[in-house]
Structures are given as C-alpha cells and as structure tokens.
C-alpha cells in the first residue's frame, strides 16, 4: 500500500474509518457517478477507473469496473489505485471491505444534505491531494443564502424515483434536502425508510400540491408517469441536477427552479 512516511497523521473518512493519506495520489478509482464527475472536473488525469454508470463527463476515457452495487474488485485492484472513492449509500460495505483487505485505500463519503455535500466533497478531494476547485467555491456561492437551513415551504410534493414498484424519496435524502432548500417540502420526509414503496393511491391520499418526477434512476418522461397524477401539477426535472452532488450543483438551482411550477427562493444570490 502506498502512503506517506511513517508518522503521517491519520485522517478519517465520513464514516469515521481511519485513513492515512497517500504521499502522492496519482491513480484514483471512483465508484460513484457524482464523485467521478467531481474528480474529473478537478484533476482530469487522476481517474483510472469508474463504474459503468459514470457518464459525466461524456468523454471520460477510463477503465470501467462494473456497477455501483457490483463492482469488479479484481479489476479494481489490478488497476493499482492509490485511492478508491465511494459513498455510504451507493456502494456495498462488503465490496469496500474486500478492497481494503486487498490493501487498497478506500475513502467513503456520507452525503444526505447540501451542506454535507459541500463539506464532504472538499474533504474527499483533499484526500485525493487536491485543493478546493473553483466549481466547489461557485456552488457554495450559488446556494449561500439557504445553507443555514431550508426556507418555509411553498408546496408539499411527492417525489417518485421508481415505477413497478412505485418508490418515493423518504427521509434523509440529498434530493429531498435540495428540494427543501428550493421551498418544496417532501410529503414522505419523515417516513421510516429512505426510499419507501408506496402505491399511487397512497401518494394521492397525502394530497400533495406537486408531483416531482426526475428522469433517473427511473426515466420518467412526459409520456411515462404524469398520466398517473391527472389532478396534480407535475414537474419533470433533471435527475442529475436533483440527485447528483458535484459540479452539477453550480447549475442545479437554476435548472431545477425553472422546472418547478412555483415561486420561492429559486434565484441564486447575487455576489
């Protein structure tokens, strides 16, 4: 395992797992699309591997190592990475433990809110040996006026993320927090689960003022989804801007606000 000279201070990732920074991180494998985009935008030559779902930037030319839930551990170790970056929700502990057992350093992020995202991304990039990039500073500026907490909600929404079976955003999700900071309360924000399975009838019984349909992970579209909610306003939104944390945060506020049929704290603060 690569590393700094003996005596280098230990750090801890977002899970509190001890981590000794490498002296010179040159080879990184990312197991999360958002983190892949963040690293690629910050230090383009650093990535040597990413999942099949890592589609940003579009011209990313690295070795593909499988999915977020089923990465090829042998292929990853064969790339001899100085660091693998992962997420507590996207990746399975068993796969990360297998990488650690093979001597590969792993950094795990925990991101459930916008402030967590901005802090976690800075720490993750520092573990990669990178200073805070310009896009991260810009994202903080864009969202500065709501980082202290969500404003009073203008509307309550249900946010389906899957169909057959229907699933919605529940408690403690990054997407739910982002919507809250745009004035959209999550009707299932206090559910027992983070992604509860519910019926359309149950969603409608909540009497939402809005249904938000992102185009990922399920590809809701104008012809697939809105027909189930004929009496409720429906907003079709970009899943990347709602659910990804990284460089997309610099434009997410503008893009999402343009898709939400409501007024509120939608404009970015002026410098």
Selection from 20-29, 87-96, 256-265 with the highest mean pLDDT:
87-96
Q: What is the pLDDT of residue 24?
A: 87
Count CB-CB contacts under 10 A for residue 200: 14
Q: What is the pLDDT of residue 263?
A: 41
Helix or strand (DSSP H, E) at 108: strand 106-109
Count CB-CB contacts under 10 A for residue 92: 14
Tokens 């930037």 sit at which residue? Answer: 57
User: Can you say how many angstroms the Cα of residue 121 is from the centroid of all Cα atoms in its chain?
Assistant: 10
Could you tell me the two tokens for 150?
């969500």
186 and 249 inside one domain:
yes
Sign of the CA dihedral running 193, 33, 130, 84: positive
101 and 168 inside one domain:
no
- Indicate whether 270 pLDDT > 60: no
25 and 71 inside one domain:
yes
pLDDT in tens, 212-231: 999 999 999 999 999 999 99
Helix, strand and coil percent figures for the chain, each rounded to 5: 30, 20, 50
Q: What is the pLDDT of residue 4?
A: 39
Q: What is the pLDDT of residue 2?
A: 36
Sheet holding 234-237, edge to edge: 184-186, 155-158, 210-214, 234-237
Boundaries of domain holding 198: 149-259
Q: Which alpha helices (DSSP H) does the chain contain, by range?
A: 33-42, 73-78, 93-101, 114-127, 134-142, 174-180, 200-205, 239-243, 249-259
CATH at residue 67: 3.40.50.1980
3-state class of 80 per DSSP?
Answer: coil
159 and 227 inside one domain:
yes
Greatest CA span in the chain, whole angstroms? 65
Of 132, 161, 187, the position where a domain reaches its end is 132
- Indicate whether 199 pLDDT > 90: yes
How do strand 155-158 and strand 184-186 relate by DSSP bridges? parallel
Residues in Cβ contact with 151 at an 8 Å cutoff, skipping those fewer than 6 apart: 181, 183, 264, 265
The answer to whether position 2 is within a domain reads no
3-state class of 157 per DSSP?
Answer: strand
Would you say the pTM of this structure is higher than 0.85? yes
Of 132, 163, 194, the position where a domain reaches its end is 132
Percent of the chain with pLDDT strictly greater than 70: 93
Query: For residue 1, what pLDDT band results from cuts at 50, 70 and 90?
Result: very low
Q: What is the pLDDT of residue 20?
A: 76
Distance, in Å, from the CA atom of 186 to the CA atom of 173, rounded to the nearest integer, reads 10
- Indicate whether 266 pLDDT > 80: no
Could you tell me the two tokens for 243?
């659910």
157 and 77 inside one domain:
no
Q: What is the pLDDT of residue 7?
A: 42
Q: What is the pLDDT of residue 264?
A: 44
The answer to whether position 6 is within a domain reads no
The answer to whether position 204 is within a domain reads yes
Distance, in Å, from the CA atom of 96 to the CA atom of 106, rounded to the nearest integer, reads 7
Query: For residue 8, what pLDDT band results from cuts at 50, 70 and 90?
Result: low
pLDDT in tens, 230-253: 999 999 999 999 999 999 999 999
The answer to whether position 191 is within a domain reads yes
Interhelix angle for 114-127 vs 249-259, to 10°? 150
169 and 94 inside one domain:
no
Q: What is the pLDDT of residue 23?
A: 75
Q: What rounded mean pLDDT belongs to the chain?
A: 92
Query: For residue 158, what pLDDT band results from cuts at 50, 70 and 90?
Result: very high
Q: What is the pLDDT of residue 262?
A: 59
Distance, in Å, from the CA atom of 146 to the CA atom of 185, rounded to the nearest integer, reads 14
pLDDT in tens, 20-55: 767 789 999 999 999 999 999 999 899 999 999 999
- Indicate whether 114 pLDDT > 80: yes
Q: What is the pLDDT of residue 200?
A: 98
Q: What is the pLDDT of residue 11?
A: 84
In the chain, the number of structural domains is 2
Q: What is the pLDDT of residue 19?
A: 81
């Amino acid at each position: 395992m690569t590393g700094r000279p003996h005596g280098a201070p230990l750090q801890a990732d977002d899970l509190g797992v001890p981590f000794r920074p490498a002296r010179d991180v040159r080879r990184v494998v990312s197991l999360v699309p958002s983190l892949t985009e963040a690293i690629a935008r910050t230090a383009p030559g650093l990535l040597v591997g990413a999942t099949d779902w890592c589609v940003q930037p579009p011209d990313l030319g690295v070795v593909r190592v499988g999915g977020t839930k089923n990465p090829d551990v042998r292929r990853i170790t064969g790339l001899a990475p100085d660091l693998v970056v992962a997420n507590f929700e996207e990746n399975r502990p068993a796969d990360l433990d297998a990488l650690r057992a093979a001597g590969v350093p792993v950094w795990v992020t925990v991101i459930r809110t916008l402030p967590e995202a901005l802090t976690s991304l800075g720490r993750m990039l520092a573990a990669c040996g990178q200073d805070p990039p310009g896009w991260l500073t810009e994202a903080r500026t864009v969202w500065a006026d709501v980082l202290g907490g969500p404003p009073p909600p203008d509307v309550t929404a249900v946010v389906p993320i899957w169909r057959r079976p229907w699933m919605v955003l529940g408690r403690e999700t990054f997407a739910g927090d982002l919507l809250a900071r745009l004035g959209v309360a999550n009707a299932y924000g206090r559910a027992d689960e983070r992604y509860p399975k519910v019926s359309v009838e149950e969603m409608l019984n909540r009497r939402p003022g809005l249904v938000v349909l992102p185009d990922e992970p399920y590809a809701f579209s104008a012809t697939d989804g809105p027909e189930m909610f004929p009496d409720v306003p429906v907003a079709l939104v970009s899943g990347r801007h709602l659910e990804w944390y990284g460089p997309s945060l610099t434009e997410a506020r503008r893009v999402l606000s343009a898709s939400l049929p409501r007024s509120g704290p939608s404009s970015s603060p002026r410098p």
